[in-house]
Amino acid sequence: MTQPIAPCLWFDNNAEEAVDFYISVFKDSRVDYVGHFTQEGPAPDAPVLYIDFTINGQPFQAINGGPLFTFSEAISFSITCADQQEVDYYWDRLTADGGEPGSCGWLKDKYGVSWQVTPQRFYELLQSDDQERAGQTVRKMLTMGKLDIAELEAAYNA
């Protein structure tokens, strides 16, 4: 059986710290395996090389790969939120302690990983049969940082 595709996040040397952070943000998450390796192979007291972890049923991997590669906005993780409370929760947690708010519901966390925090209601308004109203919603979204459902609905109904 084919296994799910797992995004692999390349960290300089703080994969454990980053995974602990993600596990604290996402309630349905866990560490599945921590691999300690030396150049000779596995060793229980060796530094952490990689971590398998799960967020909301989605497998991830994190590696301590060194400074060769860094994150960019070309790849992001999308969180579809049920309501404004959930949008606020993820936005606040992921931008805390050095994260950076962006525009249109995008942000970077303190590790440089990009996230889209989007309310389900935005997608519902966007998929409306009324193209003019959907367009008004998109134009409003383009002026926002964190998405606000009430403002998006007001734009739709304007």
- CA-based end-to-end distance of the chain: 51
CATH number of 8-64: 3.30.720.100
Tokens of 115: 């996230």
Residue 46 neighbours by CB under 8 Å, 6+ apart: 36, 37, 38
DSSP line for 59-75: EEEEEE--TT----TTS
| DSSP-based three-state secondary structure for 127 | coil
CATH number of 76-157: 3.10.180.10
Q: How far apart are CA 14 and CA 111, in angstroms?
A: 9
Q: How far apart are CA 118 and CA 141, in angstroms?
A: 10
| Residue pair 50/10 in contact by the 8 Å Cβ criterion | no
What is this structure's pTM?
0.92
Q: Supply the pLDDT for residue 44.
A: 80
The domain locations on the chain are 8-64, 76-157
- Tens-digit pLDDT profile for residues 116-154: 999 999 999 999 999 999 999 999 999 999 999 999 999
Strands (E), 46-125: 48-55, 58-64, 76-81, 100-101, 106-108, 114-119
CA 72-17-62 angle, 5° bins: 55
Q: Supply the pLDDT for residue 125.
A: 97
Residue 11: pLDDT band (50, 70, 90) is very high
- Tens-digit pLDDT profile for residues 84-124: 999 999 999 999 999 999 999 999 999 999 999 999 999 99
- Tens-digit pLDDT profile for residues 31-71: 999 999 888 777 787 899 999 999 999 999 999 999 999 99
